[in-house]
């Protein structure tokens, strides 16, 4: 069973690595373009936490946003593509448990998210000098955020029967929650209503906790962020495992 899990994981990693120019390099370029535009407009016009330049503040948010979006896309696109091409049946013929499916798909999504995040971070070194106030928090939230989005992508891939449905899931749920999570701003700069709204967004806690690892400052306590993001991942993991166990939309 361990060999089967490892084989499926390797298959998923090779799937995105064979087109790394599209799955890794392209998202890095997109994040750098975001940085160029926003830093050009807002650099020198605002300080965050009373000491950080806007460019310095923005970089961790862009790194985490890239990780989240690509971890989601990896597991979701893999399942939908397998359904459309009919190759999913070959995985169904194996004696792999729902835990093995979960570990392989989410594991590959985490790896892609981390690779994209590392690429974005390295590319942004030309724009600002990084800080590493709490490196362990950086690692924790990078892994947690990628795992949660890989799990959400797994759910979306199980639910969607075609790429249009997956795109709707991404465009109407993932993208709005990502852009309203504090990637480009501190929530303390928002009106009171929108500050309250942000606190119901699990993506906000993932990005805020990740940013704390760099600067030692954040909008909320990193422990609260860990509890909220961790609780959200446990919830979506339970849903994903139940869907896999019952064979939702893949065994009929």
Question: What residue spans define the domains of the chain?
Answer: 20-246
Instruction: Give yes or no for residue 110 having a pLDDT over 70.
Output: yes
Q: What percent of the chain has pLDDT over 90?
A: 61
d(CA 25, CA 35): 16
1 or 105: which carries more pLDDT confidence? Answer: 105
- The model's pTM is 0.92
3-state DSSP call for residue 5?
A: helix
Q: Which residues pair with 53 in a beta bridge?
A: 47
d(CA 31, CA 23): 13
47-76 pLDDT, tens per residue? 677 778 888 889 999 999 999 999 999 999
What's the full length of the chain, in residues?
A: 252
């Amino acid at each position: 069973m361990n060999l089967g899990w490892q084989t499926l994981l390797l298959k998923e990693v090779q799937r995105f690595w064979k087109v790394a120019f599209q799955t890794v390099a392209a998202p890095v370029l997109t994040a750098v373009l975001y940085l160029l535009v926003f830093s050009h407009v807002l650099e020198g016009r605002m300080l965050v936490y009373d000491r950080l330049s806007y460019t310095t503040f923005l970089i961790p948010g862009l790194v985490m946003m890239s990780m989240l979006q690509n971890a989601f896309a990896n597991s979701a696109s893999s399942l939908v593509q397998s359904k459309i091409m009919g190759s999913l049946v070959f995985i169904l013929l194996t004696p792999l448990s729902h835990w093995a499916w979960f570990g392989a798909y989410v594991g590959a999504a985490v790896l892609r998210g981390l690779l994209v995040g590392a690429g974005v971070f390295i590319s942004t070194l030309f724009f600002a000098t990084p800080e590493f106030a709490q490196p362990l928090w950086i690692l924790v939230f990078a892994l947690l955020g990628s795992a949660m989005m890989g799990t959400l992508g797994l759910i979306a891939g199980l639910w969607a029967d075609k790429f249009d449905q997956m795109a709707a899931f991404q465009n109407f749920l993932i993208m709005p929650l990502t852009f309203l999570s504090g990637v480009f701003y501190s929530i303390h700069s928002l009106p009171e209503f929108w500050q309250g709204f942000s606190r119901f967004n699990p993506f906000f806690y993932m990005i805020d906790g990740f940013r704390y690892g760099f600067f030692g400052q954040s909008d909320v306590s990193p422990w609260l962020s860990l509890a909220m993001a961790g609780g959200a991942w446990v919830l979506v993991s339970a849903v994903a495992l139940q869907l896999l166990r019952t064979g939702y939309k893949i065994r009929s």
